[in-house]
Amino acid sequence: MKIHVFIAHMGIGGSERVCVNLANEWAKNHEVHIIVLNLDNDVNTHLLDKRVQVHELGVSRLRYAALPMLKYIKKNKPQFILIFGMEMAVILNKLKKLRLIDVRLVVRVLNNINISLAKEDNVSPVVENYLKRSQKELAYMDAVVAQCRDMGKMLTEAGVISREKLRVIYNPVSVDILNRVNEITGGNKDFECARNRITFIGRVDAQKQPDHLIKAFKLIHDKREDAVLRIVGDGSLIERTKEEVKKLKLDDSVIFDGVRKDMERVYAESDVVILTSQYEGMPNALIEAIGCGIPVVSYDCPIGPSEIIEDGVNGFLVSQDNIDEMAQKTILALTQSWDGEIIKATCKKFDVSSIAKQYLEIFEEIE
C-alpha cells in the first residue's frame, strides 16, 4: 500500500510527532510519503525511518499551496490522502469539487473545533472566521479522525460530520522514544530522581497559558525552594514569559530550553510533566510522559487530558484555571510515591502498532 500524508510542517508540535510515529510504523510494511509546505524549522525528520520519503511543496504558506499540491497529486496519483489539519483539507476538497483531482480524503482534526482553529498561528480574525465556516467542508471527507472521544462527540453534536464518517483514534506513542529513555535511565524509574524537576513541553502561546504556569510555579517555589521548572518549546509569548519569570525573581529556578531534539533526555530528567492549557486536542506530552513512567498534572481542559489522566494513578487532573490547585497538585505529585510500571501500563491504549493498524483499516475501507 502507498500512503500519502499531507502535513503543513515538521516543526515542533504534537501533530508532527504523531505523523512521525505513524509513518515509522507504516514504513515497516508499506511505502510512505510525507508532503510538507517546506522544511523550515524542521525538528522531526531526523526521527523518520529512512524508508519514509519526504517531499517539499516549496511554498511558505498554505495560501500558495493549491497548485503545488495539485501537481503532486497529478504526478503521483495517490488513491487516498491522510491530511493533518483542516486548512489543507479545505484546499484539497475544493480541488476535488472542481474535478481537478479524484482521490479519497481522510482528515485528522487537530484541535478543539469550538475554539479558534487557528489561534496558535496568530492569524487574522478574517482567516479565523473563514476556517470556522470551512468546518462544513468536513462533511465531504471520506473519513474524519478525531483524536479522542470528546472531540468526536463535539464534531457529531455540532452537526459537522455524520457518525458514519467519524473514527476516534488516539494519538500513538512510539516505542522508540520510550526505549531511548530506558537506555538513559537503565530502566530505573528513580534514575537521578531529585523529585523537584517540573517540565512543561509545548508551544509558549496563548492556548497553553504560560502566565498560569509561571504563577503556579511561584506558589510551588514558595513552598519548595528546590523546585525547578524547565520550559521546553518556543512561541509567541516566550519573551513575555521570560519577563514574568524575572519580575517574580525566579530566574535561578526556571530554565528556558527552547526547542529540543533530544526529547528522550528531557523525559529522563523530569519528575513531573505539567500542562496549563485553555484547550487541547490530545496532548502528546502527557501521553509520552506516562509512557516513560512519569506522573503528569494538567488542567481538566477541553479536550483530551481527562482521557489520558487516571487521577491518582498516573497523575492528577486540576479544575480548569485553578492556579492554586495546580500548585497544590504539582507539589503532591513531587512528594507522592509513584509506581512507574503502573503509570506506564496506563499508556497501553496509545500503543503505536495498534493505532497505526486502525488507520490502515480506514485506508483499506475507502480505497
User: Per-10-residue mean pLDDT for the chain, 367 residues long?
Assistant: 96 87 96 97 92 97 94 97 91 94 93 52 61 78 93 86 93 85 75 80 93 98 96 95 97 94 91 95 92 96 93 97 98 94 94 96 92
For the stretch 267-317, pLDDT in tens is 999 999 999 999 988 899 999 999 999 999 999 998 899 999 999 999 999
Which stretches within the chain are classed as H helix? Answer: 14-26, 66-76, 86-97, 125-133, 149-157, 175-185, 210-223, 238-247, 263-268, 284-291, 305-308, 323-335, 340-345, 352-366
CA–CA distance, 189 with 193 (Å, rounded to integer): 8
- What pLDDT, on the 0 to 100 scale, is given for residue 124? 61
- What pLDDT, on the 0 to 100 scale, is given for residue 185? 83
Cα torsion 312, 205, 245, 191: sign: positive
Taking CA 233 as the corner, what is the angle to CA 33 and CA 206, rounded to the nearest 5 degrees?
A: 105
CB 30 within 8 A of CB 58: no
Torsion of CA 160, 153, 301, 292, to 10 degrees: -110
CA–CA distance, 72 with 64 (Å, rounded to integer): 14
CB 282 within 8 A of CB 14: yes
CA–CA distance, 195 with 220 (Å, rounded to integer): 13
CB 314 within 8 A of CB 336: no
DSSP string, 281-298: S--HHHHHHHHTT--EEE
DSSP 8-state symbol, 45? G
- What pLDDT, on the 0 to 100 scale, is given for residue 6? 98
- The answer, yes or no, to whether the previous bond of 303 is cis (omega within 30 of 0) is yes
CB 295 within 8 A of CB 315: yes
- What pLDDT, on the 0 to 100 scale, is given for residue 68? 97
Output phi, psi for 32, to 5 deg.
Answer: -120, 130
CB 352 within 8 A of CB 173: yes
Domains of the chain listed by start with CATH number:
2-172+351-366 (3.40.50.2000), 184-349 (3.40.50.2000)
CA–CA distance, 227 with 220 (Å, rounded to integer): 7
| Cβ-Cβ contacts under 8 Å for 334 (sequence gap 6 or more) | 195, 196, 198, 224, 227, 271, 272
Q: Record the pTM.
A: 0.84
Residue with the three cell numbers 483514534: 169
Backbone dihedral region for residue 93 (phi beyond 0: left; psi -120 to 50: alpha; all else: beta): alpha
In one letter, which amino acid is 77? K
Side-chain-side CA neighbours of 139 within 13 Å: the count stands at 9
Run of H or E residues at 188 = none
- What pLDDT, on the 0 to 100 scale, is given for residue 121? 46
- What pLDDT, on the 0 to 100 scale, is given for residue 201? 95
